Amino acid sequence: MALRRNRDFLLLQAGQLLSSLGSSFSSVAYPLLVLSLTGSAPQAGLVSFARLLPSPLFGLVAGALADRRDRRAIMLAADAVRAAALTALALLVALNPVFWPIPLLAFLEGTGDTFFGASSYGATRAVVPTAELPAAVSVQQARTASVGIAGPPIGGALFGIGRAVPFAADAVSYACSFVSLLAMRTPFQQARAQHRAPLRAQLAEGFRFLWGQPFLRATAFLYAVGNFTIPAFLFVLVVVARGHGLTGGEIGLLLALFSAFVLIGSFLSPLARRRLSVRAIVLAELYAGIAVLAYVVWPSVYVLAAALLPQAIVLPITDSVVISHRIAMTPDRLLGRVEAVRTTLARTAQPLGPLAAGLLLGALSGRATVAVLAVLTVGLALAGTASRTLRTPPVLAEVAG
């Protein structure tokens, strides 16, 4: 595969592999830390909310900046901010663990994630030919899944060694990502004229482009609901598992199982793309989410973990199709803004997922919480089935922007 000989793609993936691994440590450590300090599921949900909130809050600005400035410089600055935030958090936890700075530092880390992510799609497009984009997205999904397998158990174990350890490791991982970006040679954007239009007009141009592409518009709205429910279910899994007396390492293993099935899906992705239509792949993900109803019938934490696995398999297959189409369809000069608008639409609900799940768990049982969230999952599947746009999706070879 040509990607194996693509130096800058390998550097980009190596840096993101390390930073993703560090993030997986802290992702499991954040709720464990708050639960150990306060014993409150709503407060643990608040921290997860704070970490995800910058995406809808700053996504449009980050996207416009990615189209106006040097994307590599933005990504370097984002890595520096994230490393500083996690270093401060590690010191706080080691010296004087109190609750109130934790959501603030989580918010700062999430802000770095938002600006890094807005430029990362342009970086991928810059170093990967259009024909290789589906394979590149599959590689990224496999990387994410591999990290998800190894990261949560290690993160849980590191938390058992010392509550500050997983956050310190995450800070180091961002420093490694910073170094890998410095080593890359390819410019992260094509030559472009200076933008003289007001920021508002530039963002409107990105929104008009996305709104004028039915496939991008439909998948953005479908993903918005999915980005609410999946983080919510994973948060419920952590809290319910903690309530059943599982250790941090054992909880990490349950989360790793989800990622193991994502990895399986990434390996199956080329076969699925050859055998199934784009519509069939998207609908398979939507309907796989209904399996969580098994937990309502049999409220065991292990049943909930198993019920999430069918959707885990389909996630990377869907992403390889949708993301590659999205990157290929969008002109480079608009990529940051269109991706920012899409991200804002798709992820506005994402930080609300853990927050809503935490509040529901504070008022209801885990079983009732999953039942409420399952109603949204069923509605999403029905909406995807009714979508006319998904019946005639664009052909990748014909849509390069």
Nearest to 378 by CA among 261, 288, 256: 288
Is residue 390 within 8 A of residue 279, CB to CB? The reply is yes
pLDDT tens per residue, range 217-259: 788 777 777 778 888 888 888 888 888 888 777 887 887 888 7
**pLDDT at position 177:** 92
Treating both helix axes as pointing N-terminal to C-terminal, what angle do 54-68 and 71-95 enclose, rounded to 10 degrees? 150
Structure tokens at 85: 């935030």
Q: Is the pLDDT of residue 319 over 90?
A: no
Structure tokens at 232: 């919510």
SS (H, E, C) 101-134: HHHHHHHHHHHHHHHHHHHHHHHHHHHCCHHHHH
From residue 339, alpha-carbon distances to 142, 213, 377 in Å are: 22, 13, 24
User: Percent of the chain scored above 70 by pLDDT?
Assistant: 93
**pLDDT at position 63:** 80
**pLDDT at position 86:** 95
- Which residue has better confidence, 41 or 196? 41
Report d(CA 121, CA 337) in Å as an integer: 11
Average pLDDT over every residue of 329-333: 76
User: Percent of the chain scored above 90 by pLDDT?
Assistant: 14
Side-chain half-sphere exposure of 187, counting CA atoms within 13 A: 8
Report d(CA 98, CA 34) in Å as an integer: 9
Q: Under the phi-then-psi rule, with left for phi > 0, alpha for psi from -120 to 50, and beta for the rest, what region is 184?
A: beta
Q: Is the pLDDT of residue 76 over 90?
A: yes
Q: Is the pLDDT of residue 79 over 90?
A: yes
Is residue 341 within 8 A of residue 206, CB to CB? The reply is yes
**pLDDT at position 172:** 94
Kindly indicate the confidence band of residue 167, based on its pLDDT and cuts at 50, 70 and 90.
very high
Report d(CA 188, CA 120) in Å as an integer: 9
**pLDDT at position 187:** 79
Structure tokens at 195: 């933008």
Nearest to 305 by CA among 360, 344, 265, 256: 256
* DSSP code at position 187: -
Q: Is the pLDDT of residue 109 over 60?
A: yes
pLDDT tens per residue, range 111-166: 999 899 888 877 887 787 777 777 777 777 777 778 877 777 888 888 889 899 99
Report d(CA 105, CA 243) in Å as an integer: 26
- Which residue has better confidence, 150 or 397? 150
**pLDDT at position 1:** 52
**pLDDT at position 168:** 94
Q: Is the pLDDT of residue 104 over 90?
A: yes
Q: Is the pLDDT of residue 400 over 60?
A: no
Report d(CA 380, CA 65) in Å as an integer: 32
Which helix (H) or strand (E) element contains residue 334? Answer: helix 332-347
Is residue 162 within 8 A of residue 94, CB to CB? The reply is yes
Task: Give how far the C-alpha of residue 386 lies from the chain's centroid of Cα atoms, to the nearest Å.
Answer: 26
Task: Give how far the C-alpha of residue 123 lies from the chain's centroid of Cα atoms, to the nearest Å.
Answer: 17
Dihedral (CA of 313, 314, 317, 320) sign: negative
* DSSP code at position 132: G
Kindly indicate the confidence band of residue 106, based on its pLDDT and cuts at 50, 70 and 90.
very high
From residue 284, alpha-carbon distances to 49, 317, 372 in Å are: 28, 10, 21
Global confidence as pTM: 0.66
Share the mean pLDDT of the chain: 83
Average pLDDT over every residue of 275-294: 87
pLDDT tens per residue, range 342-355: 777 766 666 677 88
pLDDT tens per residue, range 171-214: 999 999 999 998 888 877 766 555 566 667 777 777 788 787 78
Kindly indicate the confidence band of residue 397, based on its pLDDT and cuts at 50, 70 and 90.
low
**pLDDT at position 53:** 85
